[in-house]
Amino acid sequence: MSVSDYQLIEAWKEVLTLSRLEAGQTVTILTGPTTHPQTLACALIATQAMGAVVNRLDLPPVNGEKAFSRDPLAYLGTTPLTGNLPAIAALKASHLVLDLMTLLFSPEQHEILKGGTKILLAVEPPEVLMRMVPSLADRARVLAAAQQISVAREMRVTSSAGTSLACPLGEFGPTAEYGFVDEPGRWDHWPSGFALTYPNDCAAHGTIVIDRGDILLPQKHYVSEPIVLTIEDGYATRIEGGVDASLLGDYMQTFMDREGYAVSHIGWGLQPRARWSTLGLYDREATIGMDARAFEGNFLFSLGPNNEGGGRRTTACHIDVPLRHCTVMLDDEIVVRNGRVTDTAVTTS
């Protein structure tokens, strides 16, 4: 269902207020060929209504000829900012960047953040943004989970489907994604609602079973038969199963890069307004799948780079996989039991 411009402008104002936008500050709205026109138009009005000095920076796409998927998260590394010094300078000179284009996992993004600029990514369709307008409660919950991660030495994940994964922790800090940017140099994504970290380099080991109904991203596909990943020394060394396993394996081979098989971010979903089933209601190119990443109680693991978390691994390949019905332990504490978060009575499924 569509949403009205008025609704979306009000939602933007709420997110910008949570992000502590003040009159007189400079906002640059980053756009590209896939930017949603209503999201852009309403962001322009909301930022001006709040007294900001507003710019728009529209950049041409890159990597289309290399990527095998049209998903903006399917091919990482170089971005329209790579080697684009005037564009980088404009973003660094801004208090806030609204990224309606998708700048994830790029060194240029790190450089801009380091200077204190905040970046908020918002590329999901307007009705998804509206449904998941972030709140202070989201922030508190995600930060509490990140705090738990920060003191843990190991994350263990099990499931009745056969997952048994051990991830030593400590090398990389936690990341809290709660949907707004209230601190200088902060990056976040509206919508989101999860906490994550990265296993110590080359240390994750065990077995991950992607079971029926679990989701592959960027494939945006509900798996119909189990895929078994063998994880050794931090890498998926075997991908076994039926057609779904072959499809995943063939896609990953297109990158011709061993680093794409490394275990990347690991964490769990904490967003009660995100739903497992939503992805099935959308055309695949209409969403990047944030419902799938954020729904409450999923164990979200990924394969690919860890530079976003402070590591040295870069690769163009990145697969996100939300698993249902897992039990997640931080040291001896269960934080998700059989797909249900243990921190609160708030449950929606």
Q: Which residues bind to Fe ion, rule: CB under 5 A?
A: 302, 320
Strand pairing of 263-269 and 235-241?
Answer: unpaired
Q: Are 158 and 169 in contact (CB under 8 A)?
A: no
| Beta carbon of residue 308, minimum distance to Fe ion (angstroms, whole number) | 8
> Min. distance of Cβ 320 from Fe ion in angstroms?
4
Q: What H or E segment, with its residue span, contains residue 290?
A: helix 290-294
Distances in Å between the alpha carbon of 304 and those of 76, 148, 180, 307, 330? 10, 24, 25, 10, 22
Q: 3-class DSSP state for residue 295?
A: strand
Which CB sits closer to Fe ion, 71 or 296?
A: 71
- Report the nearest approach of Fe ion to the CB of residue 21 (Å): 27
Query: In this complex, which beta carbon is closest to Fe ion, that of residue 163 or of residue 302?
Result: 302
Distance, CA of 205 to chain centre: 23
CB of 56 to Fe ion, least distance (A): 27
Q: Where are the beta strands (DSSP E) in 225-262?
A: 227-232, 235-241
The CA distance from 221 to 200, in Å, is 29
CB of 346 to Fe ion, least distance (A): 24
- Cα–Cα distance for residue pair 26/76, rounded to 1 Å: 28
User: Considering beta carbons, is residue 177 or 320 the nearer one to Fe ion?
Assistant: 320
Longest dimension (CA), the chain: 57
Closest to Fe ion by CB, 28 or 79: 79
- Token readout for 211 is 């079971």
The residue (of 94 and 109) whose beta carbon lies closer to Fe ion is 109
Q: Which of 302/327 has CB closer to Fe ion? A: 302
Shortest gap between Cβ of 35 and Fe ion (angstroms)? 21
